[in-house]
Structure 1
Amino acid sequence: MSTQKHVLQEAGTVEENQLRLDQGKSEEIVEALNADLADTYMLYHQLRKHHWNVEGAEFRDLHIFLGEAAENAEAAADDIAERLQALGGAPVANPVNQAEMATVEFEGDDVYDIRTSLENDLGMYGDVIESLREHIELATDLGDHATAEILREILVQTEEDAHHIEHYLEDDTLVTDAAINR
């Protein structure tokens, strides 16, 4: 293992990019994308937590859905990180820095009932969706149509997952009170 250390790019900096996007515009977009990256990882970790801890009559369906939703968030984070790197930025990768940079708040380590957990997820999804919309507009206004398109694709999947949670939170269920109280 080499002990030589050579920093190629300092965190928080934006280098010139080959995409011919103005340096100032790149810096604005990279800052927005790093916030999206941090938020997406907070969402990912919360979804994974709920995937691990879900119990009850609807365990299997919710366990599968939450696992898939977490995978969707992880894929979105990867797309965001790769785009901001292409723009000359350094993706925020340290979990401590991600938590500090995130505009959403992780619910904590306590385990809650599944309804509370899903309500917390839906709230976080809403915040992530609003931020994605703002950053799509920012990228479009700055002439970075490729970033706007990447964020649009992420937004579609994020909204779809949030909508599924809305369905899970509806009052209608096939599980009867008698089955729950056994």
Structure 2
Amino acid sequence: MSTQKTVRREAGTVEENALRLDQGKAEQIVEALNQDLAASYVLYHQLRKHHWNVEGAEFNDLHEFLGDRAEEAEDAADDIAERAQALGGIPVSGPAALAEHSHVDFEGEDVYDIRTSLENDREMYGDVIESVREHVALAEDLGDYATSELLRDVLEDLEDAAHEVDHYLEDDTLVLETATN
């Protein structure tokens, strides 16, 4: 634990920024970014969980795919956090704050079959996509075009990943089910 006796900046505050974005607008955008940051970390942890626990004939492909998507979610979280900080905000970071700010819920600690896991991922991707899309529009409306552009890049990666998950869930496969008697 830190021995520092004074808090330099209180969590949840937004100070003036060098980007010359009005503080009231920056506060709205930082709040939205913190929601997306928290959701990105929830998505990251769920994808990482599935990466660790995947089994079966398609293990190698899915293990790699889920690991790559988890890294993508973590990279997005880092970009979002750095933008929130540049706008004078304090990015949410602790487990309690992430849970409080996230609009998506982690599926839990239980391990499910890979199809169920991927269905849960697809659902979470959809929820995160909807939120990021709303925040792109918010940033545009408030004149923060750089945040809008950053979120557009994040949105494109999220949509690509959701589309790929959807492909994994199709019923066309080379793996044949065997009847057990």
TM range (shorter): over 0.9
After TM superposition, give the deviation of residue 177 of structure 1 in Å. 1.6
* Number of the residue aligned with 1:68: 68
* Number of the residue aligned with 2:130: 130
Q: Which whole-Å deviations, capped at 9, do the CAs of 1:112-140 have from their partners, x for residues lacking one?
A: 00000000000000000000000000000
Greater Cα offset, 123-132 or 94-103: 94-103
Which letter does structure 1 place at the counterpart of 2:142? Answer: L
Q: What CA distance in whole angstroms lies between the structure 2 residues aligned with 1:3 and 1:143? A: 41
* Number of the residue aligned with 2:15: 15
Structure 1 residues 2 and 138, CA gap change in structure 2 (3 angstroms): closer
Q: What CA distance in whole angstroms lies between the structure 1 residues aligned with 2:162 and 2:132? A: 14
CA RMSD of aligned residues (A): 1.5
Q: What CA distance in whole angstroms lies between the structure 2 residues aligned with 1:69 and 1:49? A: 12
* Number of the residue aligned with 1:87: 87
Which letter does structure 2 place at the counterpart of 1:155? Answer: L
Q: What CA distance in whole angstroms lies between the structure 1 residues aligned with 2:173 and 2:98? A: 37
Identity of aligned residues (%): 71
Q: What CA distance in whole angstroms lies between the structure 1 residues aligned with 2:170 and 2:5? A: 54
Which letter does structure 1 place at the counterpart of 2:37? Answer: L
Structure 1 residues 2 and 159, CA gap change in structure 2 (3 angstroms): closer
SS in 2 for 1:19: coil
Which letter does structure 2 place at the counterpart of 1:51? Answer: H
Matched, 1:42 2:46: no
Which letter does structure 2 place at the counterpart of 1:142? Answer: L
Relative to the length of structure 1, the TM-score reads 0.96
Matches within 5 A, 1:111-130: 111-130=111-130
Runs of 5+ in structure 1 lacking a partner? none
Structure 1 segments of 4+ aligned residues over 3 angstroms from their partners: none
Q: What CA distance in whole angstroms lies between the structure 1 residues aligned with 2:3 and 2:90? A: 22
Structure 1 residues 174 and 37, CA gap change in structure 2 (3 angstroms): same
After TM superposition, give the deviation of residue 4 of structure 1 in Å. 3.0
* Number of the residue aligned with 1:150: 150
Runs of 5+ in structure 2 lacking a partner? none
Q: What CA distance in whole angstroms lies between the structure 1 residues aligned with 2:87 and 2:177? A: 54
Structure 1 residues 2 and 13, CA gap change in structure 2 (3 angstroms): closer
Matched, 1:172 2:172: yes
SS in 1 for 2:104: coil
Relative to the length of structure 2, the TM-score reads 0.96
SS in 2 for 1:177: coil
Q: What CA distance in whole angstroms lies between the structure 1 residues aligned with 2:131 and 2:74? A: 17
